[in-house]
Amino acid sequence: MNTDLHQIEVRGIPIEIVRKDIKNLHLGVYPPNGRVRAAVPLRLDDEAVRLAVVARLGWIRRQQERFAAQVRQSQREMVSGESHYVQGQRYRLHVIEQDGPPSVGVRNRTTLELRVRPGSDREQREAVLYAWYRRQLRAQIPPLLAKWQPILGVNVVDWRIKKMKTRWGSCTIEARRIWLNLELAKKPPACLEYILVHEMIHLLERHHNERFQTLMERFLPNWQMARDVLNRAPLAHEDWGY
Ligand SMILES: [Zn+2]
C-alpha cells in the first residue's frame, strides 16, 4: 500500500497527515494525548486539510479535552472506597493497615483487599497493587500463547510486561519478542487477547497494511470490539487509528 506520512500545524495543533488511495478525507483524534490524524485522498493538498481542520476545530478541541480528563481521572489516591479494575471487573478498594507482608486479594467478587503496613503512603500502596497486577497478567499470557502460536503458525521467543504510556503492546520482530502493557491487567481478557494476537500477527506482517487487516479479520473477526473498549481508555496502541 502506497502511503505518505507528514505533519502540518493548524492553529497550534499538530496534524499528522497520511495520504492514501481513499475517497474522502477522514479526521480522527486519538488517545492518550488527543493526537490528530488526517487520512487524506491522494488528490487533496495540505490546504484542503487545513480547511477541514479549521471547520472542525471545536470538535477536535472537545475530543482533546475529553482525553485529558480521562488521564486526570486515572490518578488514584489508593484509599478505601475507590474503584479499581481487574480483568475488566470493577472492585471497591479496601485498604487494611497491618504488620506483616503486604498482599492483595479479591473478596466477594466486589472488593479488592489491599493489606499494607501502617503508615504506608500512596506510592507504596500502588507499588504493592501493581506488583500484584503484574503477577496476574503474567499468569494470563502463557495459555493465550499456547492457544495462538499453533493457530497463527508463529513462535514467540520472548514476551515481557512493562508500563507504557502510549501503547498497549509492541513487537520486536527481529527478536520475536512481544511487549505488553501492564495496564492490560485491568482490562477484559478479550482486550489482552486482541493486543497479543495483533502483536503476534506482526510476526507475519510488519506493517498495518491490507494484508495485516485481512489476517486480523480472519483470525479474530471481533477484534474491533476489543479495540473500541481500549480506545475509550486513556492509552492507545501506537497506530491503530482504524
Ligand atoms: Zn501494530
- What ranges do the domains of the chain cover? 4-73, 83-231
Specify the pLDDT at position 233: 65
Tell me the percentage of the chain whose pLDDT exceeds 70. 93
Specify the pLDDT at position 71: 67
Q: How far is the CA of 164 from the centre of ligand 1 (A)?
A: 15
Q: How far is the CA of 56 from the centre of ligand 1 (A)?
A: 28
Specify the pLDDT at position 231: 77
Which burial class, exposed, middle or buried, applies to 29 when counting CB atoms under 10 A from its CB (0-12, 13-18, 19+)?
A: buried
Question: Which residues make beta-bridge pairs with 85?
Answer: 90
Specify the pLDDT at position 240: 38
Q: How far is the CA of 214 from the centre of ligand 1 (A)?
A: 14
Q: How far is the CA of 238 from the centre of ligand 1 (A)?
A: 7
Superfamily designation of domain 83-231: Metalloproteases ("zincins"), catalytic domain (3.30.2010.10)
Specify the pLDDT at position 242: 29
DSSP tally for the chain: helices H, then strands E? 6, 11
Q: How far is the CA of 180 from the centre of ligand 1 (A)?
A: 12
Q: How far is the CA of 115 from the centre of ligand 1 (A)?
A: 38
Q: How far is the CA of 79 from the centre of ligand 1 (A)?
A: 36
DSSP annotation of 99 reads: S
One digit per residue, pLDDT tens: the chain, 242 residues? 445 678 899 998 999 998 888 999 999 998 777 889 999 999 999 999 999 999 999 999 998 888 877 766 667 899 999 999 999 999 999 999 999 999 999 998 899 999 999 999 999 999 999 999 999 999 999 999 999 999 999 999 999 999 987 789 999 999 999 999 999 999 999 999 999 999 999 999 999 899 999 999 999 999 999 998 887 765 544 433 32
Say how many CA atoms lie within 13 Å of 84 toward its Cβ: 29
DSSP state letters, 183-229: GGGGS-HHHHHHHHHHHHHTTT-SSSSHHHHHHHHHH-TTHHHHHHH
Pairing of strands 89-97, 158-162: unpaired
Specify the pLDDT at position 69: 76
Specify the pLDDT at position 36: 92
DSSP annotation of 98 reads: -
pTM > 0.75:
no
Pairing of strands 35-41, 13-20: parallel
Question: Which residues make beta-bridge pairs with 6?
Answer: 17
